[in-house]
């Protein structure tokens, strides 16, 4: 089937994309290589389609399908989407991804290269041809440009042949392999896809589960994406698979997606609605009670499926403040010890079994943590971690909120500053980075400079005012002006420890104070003696969006930001900054990576990538 016919079939809905396929992930280099290969008439592989009854087909997009049968594209989505975008000048109906990957590609008639549009380079040079315009208007329109230009007369035959070669790409035949037969269920087809695509993107268990759900409810993915977009607007970035798992636990009490087999559409829709409400409740509870009010400090996302199940068992409400605080006590410990950082499904299923009978379920969960850890008390050495990627970073932020640390400038409680750009909390290095790096005689390393015990939180105005001043000077000024402020941030009050040469002793002393404050708070949660929060419990939908304010970046942060800007410019996914690397089976932390792409620069198509050193 030639490419032009394939695109026409897509326009008619006769070729569509099955619901279980992921979105478009190619970048510009891959698109350019595709079009270059076709120009040279190199083979680009065949397509694989699943011929199925229209009535049984669950497809991406809202385009109507023709009666009878439809061909669902199993293998070739990236190639077909790219060609459709180049030739039609727009994305196909089933498209989900970055359309800039195939927008604005030009061909140079002189050196036969393909590049994306650059105005300074191409605007006044007629030898650069817009491929989309050429495909739509034909070679004749473009060759007329050269008739009146004497300097191109000799090149006329060569240019004409090259224009026709590019225009002829849309008439190239591609082999289309068909999967047919009434025995080809979604499960069978997904298995075929994974076997054919053994070197590329694998479909996860979540993809397959969602495919089965969408077979009965085509709008399921769109409905779930609405919830994800809502939470994203308030500063919480959840993945669709996590929402699906929360829905699964609410509906079935199981972590494994296979539990959704045979579930009725009406039951799934009701469970999804409940899961969304429960997640709203949990975000508010964690935000108001613990002060963990944005994505960077949320932590332990895979605790949410269990907490959603527990809430659902209780009719969506926690009956006493003691029960609520005990749940939060458990949640905090799942963050600190990486409860779900390893074999997630196995551990989650074990924990779901512990709450099968709601009575004493929380006690059983806490006892299981205690058996694994032996001791749930925090010790000073637990704060030896460094950077905002460490597990104890959210804990430091939480302590700042719940113990009502005071701003060093205004003296007001930082627990009140929940929203608003100027009132957002910024990370502050008590001993400034520049000061420590200049003190070369002491050999302070990067992990030491960025140690959790050297971090605190201040409002933007105060952080700017303090800047990179010597703590021996500015801490003394704050102690005179705001006598309670320093103590509220667990700053050791021994003035000798504020000297640069005593920095390591300062860290050790502050770790002692932080561990003590942490244990006091956790004990209060477990005993139910912590005071009620002053802030009202409001639904997430009524909150102002969280707008994080980043402090001035140092050289390392600027380098990381520059790399991320580069990958974004090349239509690649943003890297995870300060990514925690864990041991797959145990979930134990191995270290922090400066920048990482755990799913690869091409998610599902390439190996994990990291930039920078692994620092423990």
The predicted-structure confidence for 208-254, as pLDDT tens digits, reads as follows 677 778 767 878 888 999 999 999 888 898 988 899 999 999 999 99
**Residues 271/250, Cβ–Cβ less than 8 Å:** yes
Compare 542 and 100 and report the one with higher pLDDT.
100
What pLDDT, on the 0 to 100 scale, is given for residue 342? 62
**Residues 367 and 387 placed together within one structural domain of the fold:** no
Could you tell me which residues come within 8 angstroms of residue 464 by beta carbon, excluding any fewer than 6 positions away? none
Beta bridge mates, 458: 426
- Tell whether 393 is covered by a domain: yes
Helix (H, G, I), strand (E, B) or coil at 592: strand
347-379 pLDDT tens trace: 999 999 999 876 789 999 999 999 988 889 999
Spatial separation of the C-alpha atoms in residues 589 and 389, rounded to whole Å: 11
Q: pLDDT (tens digit, 9 = 90+) per residue, 14-24? A: 998 877 676 78
Residue 553 pLDDT more than 70? no
pLDDT at 69: 87
In sequence order, which residues have a C-beta less than 8 Å from that of residue 22 and are 6 or more positions away?
201, 203, 207, 603, 604
403: which 2 tokens? 């113990």
In a domain, 194, yes or no: no
- Write out the two tokens for 435: 């000061």
Q: How far is CA 484 from CA 469, 471, 490, 497, in A?
A: 20, 17, 10, 18
Q: Provide the CB-side half-sphere exposure for 505 (13 A, CA).
A: 10
Name which residue leads in pLDDT, 599 or 312: 312
- Of the three residues 373, 400, 428, the one that is the final residue of a domain is 373
3-state helix, strand, coil in the chain (%, to 5): 55, 10, 35
Given CA atoms 154, 155, 161, 164 in this order, what sign does their dihedral have? negative
Are residues 359 and 278 located together in one domain of the fold?
yes
Q: pLDDT higher for 610 or 328? A: 328
Range among 494-508, 542-556, 600-614 rated most confident: 494-508
Q: What is the mean pLDDT of the chain?
A: 82
User: Residue 197 falls within a domain, yes or no?
Assistant: no
Q: What is the CA 199 to chain-centroid distance, rounded?
A: 24
Residue 268 pLDDT > 90: yes
Closest CA to 613 of 593, 591, 583: 593
**In terms of residue numbers, what domain contains 412?**
380-542
- Of 21, 18, 26, whose CA–CA distance to 606 is shortest? 26
User: Are residues 519 and 588 both part of a single domain?
Assistant: no
CA distances from 338 to 91, 300, 341, 472, 517 (A): 41, 7, 5, 37, 21
Task: Point out the domain boundary residue: 542, 564, 596.
Answer: 542
Same domain for 295 and 169 = no
Whether residues 393 and 535 share a domain: the answer is yes
The pTM (predicted TM-score) of the whole model is 0.71
What pLDDT score was predicted for residue 535?
38
Answer yes or no: is 90 within a domain: yes
Check residue 615 and give its pLDDT: 46
Kindly tell me the burial class for residue 596, based on how many C-beta atoms sit within 10 Å of its own C-beta (0-12, 13-18, 19 or more): buried
Q: Are residues 180 and 326 in the same domain?
A: no
- pLDDT tier at 437, thresholds 50, 70, 90: very high
Q: How far is CA 52 from the centre of its chain?
A: 34
Determine, yes or no, domain membership for 323: yes
| Residue of 314, 251, 344, 328 lying closest to 286 (CA atoms) | 328
d(CA 140, CA 164): 9
Give bridge partners of residue 457 from the DSSP assignment.
427
Claim to verify: residue 71 and residue 94 sit in the same structural domain = yes
Q: Looking at the structure, tell me whether residues 442 and 591 fall in a common domain.
A: no
3 state DSSP class of 594: strand
d(CA 433, CA 467): 10
pLDDT computed for residue 222 by the predictor: 85
Tokens of 500: 């640069």
Q: Residue 271: name the closest of 292, 291, 250, 294 by CA.
A: 250
Q: Does 547 map to a domain?
A: no
Residue 228's closest CA among 287, 291, 304? 304
Percentage of the chain modeled with pLDDT above 90: 41
Query: Does 363 lie in the same domain as 220?
Result: yes
Do 249 and 348 have their domain in common? yes
Q: How many domains does the chain have?
A: 4
Q: List 429's β-bridge partners, or say none.
A: 455
512 to each of 381, 444, 489, 518, how far by Cα in Å? Answer: 8, 20, 13, 10
Residue 605 has pLDDT above 70, yes or no: no
How far is Cα of residue 171 from the mean position of the Cα atoms in its chain?
A: 40
- Structure-token match 């949410």, residue found: 304
Q: 3-state DSSP call for residue 413?
A: strand
Q: Which residue has the tokens 């929203």?
A: 419
The CB density around residue 569, as the number of other CB atoms within 10 Å, is 10
Residue whose pair of structure tokens reads 């180049």 in the numeric block: 86
- Is residue 115 a part of any domain in this protein? yes
Query: Which of 542, 567, 583 corresponds to the end of one domain?
Result: 542
Q: Are 52 and 69 in contact (CB under 8 A)?
A: yes
CB-CB contact of 320 with 268 (8 Å): no
β-strands 15-16, 69-75: how paired? parallel
> 173 in helix, strand or coil?
strand
pLDDT tens column, 382-399:
888 776 557 788 899 999
Angle between helix 3-12 and helix 77-88 axes, rounded to 10 deg:
90
List the alpha helices (DSSP H) in 439-554: 446-449, 460-466, 471-481, 503-527
Range from 98-112, 415-429, 463-477, 496-510 carrying the lowest mean pLDDT: 415-429
Q: How far, in Å, are 304, 590, 591 from residue 586 at the CA level?
A: 20, 11, 14
Q: Distance between CA 317 and CA 30 in Å, rounded? A: 51
Q: Cα separation of 151 and 191, whole Å?
A: 58
Tell me the residue length of the chain. Answer: 616
- In degrees rounded to 5, what are phi and psi of residue 124? -105, 20
Question: How many Cβ atoms sit within 10 Å of the Cβ of residue 245?
Answer: 28
352 lies in a domain? yes
Burial class (CB in 10 A: 0-12, 13-18, 19+), 291: buried
Rounded Cα–Cα distance for residues 327 and 303 (Å): 10
For residues 586 and 601, membership in a common domain is answered with: yes
- Name the burial class of residue 172, with classes exposed (0-12), middle (13-18) and buried (19+) by CB atoms within 10 angstroms of its CB: middle
State the Cα–Cα distance between residues 509 and 516, nearest whole angstrom: 11
CB atoms within 10 A of CB 209: 23
Q: What tens digit of pLDDT does each residue of 27-48 get?
A: 888 999 999 999 999 998 888 8
Residue 59 has pLDDT above 90, yes or no: no
**Shared domain check, 390 and 363:** no
């Amino acid at each position: 089937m030639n490419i032009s016919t394939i695109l026409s079939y897509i326009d008619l809905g006769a070729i569509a994309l099955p619901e279980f396929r992921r979105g478009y992930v190619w970048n510009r280099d891959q698109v350019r290589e595709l079009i270059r290969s076709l120009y040279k008439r190199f083979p680009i592989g065949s397509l694989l389609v699943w011929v199925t009854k229209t009535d049984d087909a669950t497809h991406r997009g809202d385009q109507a399908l023709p009666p009878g049968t439809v061909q669902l594209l199993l293998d070739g989505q990236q190639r077909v989407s790219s060609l459709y975008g180049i030739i039609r000048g727009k994305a196909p109906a089933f498209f989900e991804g970055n359309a800039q990957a195939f927008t604005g590609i030009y061909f140079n008639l002189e050196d036969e290269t393909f590049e994306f549009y650059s105005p300074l380079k191409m605007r006044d040079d007629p030898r650069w041809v817009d491929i989309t315009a050429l495909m739509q208007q034909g070679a004749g329109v473009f060759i007329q440009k050269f008739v009146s230009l004497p300097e191109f007369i000799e090149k006329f035959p060569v240019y004409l042949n090259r224009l026709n070669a590019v225009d002829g790409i849309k008439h190239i035949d591609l082999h289309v392999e068909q999967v047919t037969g009434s025995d080809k269920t979604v499960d069978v087809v997904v298995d075929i896809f994974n076997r054919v695509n053994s070197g590329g993107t694998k479909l996860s268990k979540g993809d397959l589960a969602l495919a089965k759900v969408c077979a009965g409810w085509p709008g399921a993915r769109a409905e779930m994406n609405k919830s994800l977009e809502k939470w994203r607007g308030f500063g919480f970035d959840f993945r669709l698979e996590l929402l699906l798992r929360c829905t699964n636990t609410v509906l079935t009490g199981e972590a494994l997606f296979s539990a959704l087999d045979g579930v009725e559409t009406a039951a799934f829709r009701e469970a999804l609605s409940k899961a969304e409400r429960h997640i709203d409740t949990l975000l508010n509870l964690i935000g108001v009670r613990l002060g963990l009010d944005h994505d960077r400090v949320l932590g332990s996302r895979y605790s949410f499926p269990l907490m959603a199940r527990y809430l659902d068992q209780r009719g969506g409400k926690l009956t006493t403040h003691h029960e609520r605080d005990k749940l939060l006590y458990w949640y905090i410990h799942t963050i600190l010890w990486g409860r779900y950082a390893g074999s997630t499904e196995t551990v989650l299923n074990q924990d779901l079994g512990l709450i099968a009978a709601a009575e004493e379920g929380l006690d059983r969960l806490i006892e299981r943590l205690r058996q694994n850890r032996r001791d749930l008390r925090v010790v000073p050495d637990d704060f030896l971690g460094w950077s905002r990627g460490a597990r104890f970073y959210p804990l430091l932020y939480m302590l700042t909120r719940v113990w009502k640390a005071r701003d060093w400038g205004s003296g007001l409680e930082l627990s009140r500053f929940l929203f608003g750009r100027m009132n957002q909390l910024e990370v502050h290095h008590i001993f400034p980075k520049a000061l420590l790096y200049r003190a070369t005689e002491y050999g302070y390393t990067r992990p030491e400079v960025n140690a959790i015990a050297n971090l605190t939180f201040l409002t933007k105005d105060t952080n700017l005012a303090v800047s990179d001043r010597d703590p021996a000077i500015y801490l003394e000024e704050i102690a005179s002006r705001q006598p309670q402020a320093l103590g509220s941030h667990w700053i050791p009050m021994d003035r000798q420890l504020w000297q640069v040469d005593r920095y390591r002793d300062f860290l050790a002393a502050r770790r002692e104070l932080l561990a003590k404050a942490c244990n006091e708070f956790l004990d209060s949660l477990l005993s139910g003696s912590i005071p009620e929060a002053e802030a009202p419990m409001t639904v997430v939908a009524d909150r102002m969006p969280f707008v994080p304010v980043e402090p001035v970046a140092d050289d390392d942060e600027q380098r990381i930001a520059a790399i991320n800007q580069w990958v974004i410019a090349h239509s690649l996914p943003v890297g995870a900054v300060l990514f925690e690397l864990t041991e797959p089976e145990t979930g134990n932390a191995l270290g922090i990576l400066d920048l990482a792409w755990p799913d690869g620069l091409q998610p599902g198509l390439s190996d994990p990538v990291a930039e920078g050193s692994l620092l423990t």
